[in-house]
Amino acid sequence: MELPLVKNDVGCRQGSGRIWGYFLHNMKAQGLAPSKTVIGYIAAWLGLAVVLMADLSPTIASYPAQAVLAVIVWSCIVWVTEAVPVGVTGLMIPMLLVVTKAVPKVPEAFGGFVLDVSFMTLGAFMFAAILSAAKLDTRIALFVLNKMKAVRVGKIIVALFTTNMALSLVVPAANARSATMLPIVNGVIGLFGDSTAESKAKKAIVISCIVYATMVGGILFLTAHLPNLLMVGLFDKQLGVQISWLQWLWLHLPIVGMFPLMYWIVNFTFRSNKVEVPGGMERLQKEQLELGKTRGHEWVTLAIFAFAAIMWMLEDVHKIKSGMMTLIAIGVFFIPGIFQLKWVTVQNKTIWGTWLLLCGALSMSAAMGSSGLARQMAALIYPWVSGHGWIAGLLIIILATRIIRLGMLSNIASVAMLAPVLLEMAPLLNMNPVALTLLVGNIDTFAFLIPTQVVAGVVAYSTNTFTMWDYFKVGFPTVIAAIAWSMLVMVPWYAYNGFPIWEPLVK
């Protein structure tokens, strides 16, 4: 648009108005909320600049750590306000890490793009694309819903929760379970329309069944969540405390009580419990009949998908990482003549933007460790906790670690960083190291404020059914409820079973 060259104030105002009108028109064309987007964008860059220029010593002891903190502030603001497309933020985060000199070398700054979990998630998105293109996600979803007669959203969530819990017994990683659930959930939400009520229903189903069921279900079974194994290994090695599979299950049985609580919070937030699949059971049965019998190429596709799931399950046997095994399965799909879909179809259905978001978040998470920021922030906790009773001390630790987790994607990396610190801190605070580590480690699983705190959240975000704000609205009360549940239920339960947090461990 060509603007007139004017010198008077009126002309300047007209020119400014035209410039703003140009940007306003483009933002609306993109489906953005102009005021929220502009405020978020400006606030993000101001936040970055303020943190970079502030004197944070001796709290933050090194410039690289301070620069990483600045990038985290920028990222959180643009994610919450959605001022920049998430895929673009995935590329800008490593760029900012390099430009601010938080990370010295480009390959290191882009390290999140080459991690095993990155390839596993990309493979999961491609699986979802393949199953969607072949309409197998709908076939699987109709099978599950018909078998459980699940028409209302409330019953659908229970059905998919149950499916996820069953997977927890055989698929030993939360990331793998979220990947397995993605096409099933995609098939379910594909049955709903775009009305306001149905949109809320899709949000409730996706967040509940891909994120909450996957993560919280992982706490219940020792082998269903890698942080569980990490903590148990540390207890054995450093404390001489052995916890078996059955002991772990018994210790964490009360966590089941969080499921109806989360169910209620999701329903209260989205008011979707009574929304039904349009057409009810008749439609489910009719659509299943219309799909007909499973054809040969569909069985082959299902077999390859099942092969990947079994290989994820047997990782301890074949020693091939889940990401690499996922890529092997993708390679099998593209053996000439295996199935009918063209690559361009899979390419167009794969959620590349969300994958870039994941990789950027992983890069930032790694930078927190390499710059020393994560450990420096953890070290800040002790002076705040020292001198308080166990209740105040535990709450301070939990709240402080929630702040640290805003910049970390990996639950595994977070527990790997926090658990050794907690084991060393517990005797100084006259607390039981097993109870303290379990409570803080398990609360870490409830990292539900923004999708980029856990891989399952990023996988759910790929469905494009909810915004970051939707996620926060239901996630914030869920995190508060989890903290309250830990203090009121898990603390006395651990004490009853020999791990009172208020007493040091007696060897």
Domain shared by 338 and 485, yes or no:
no
Residue 502 domain-assigned (yes or no): no
- β-sheet bridge partners, residue 152: 276
Q: What is the mean pLDDT of the chain?
A: 83
pLDDT tens profile 271-318: 888 888 888 888 888 878 877 888 888 888 888 888 887 887 777 788
Segments of the chain with pLDDT less than 50: 1-8, 10, 12
pLDDT score at 264? 93
pLDDT score at 171? 64
pLDDT tens profile 306-319: 888 788 777 778 88
Domain shared by 338 and 384, yes or no:
no
Domain shared by 317 and 462, yes or no:
no
Residue 340 domain-assigned (yes or no): yes
pTM: 0.71
Domain shared by 398 and 278, yes or no:
no
DSSP letters, 408-443, are ---HHHHHHHHHHHHHHHHHHTT--HHHHHHHHHHH
pLDDT tens profile 445-468: 888 888 888 888 888 998 889 988
Last residue within a domain, chosen from 77, 109, 141: 109
pLDDT score at 456? 87
Total domain count for the chain? 3
pLDDT score at 12? 47
Residue 501 domain-assigned (yes or no): no
SS3 state at 490: helix
Query: CA-CA distance, 367 to 74, in Å (whole number)?
Result: 15
Last residue within a domain, chosen from 109, 141, 160: 109
**With DSSP H G I counted as helix, E B as strand and the rest as coil, what are the percentages for the chain, rounded to 5?**
75, 0, 25
Domain of residue 406, residue span: 368-496
Last residue within a domain, chosen from 354, 381, 407: 354
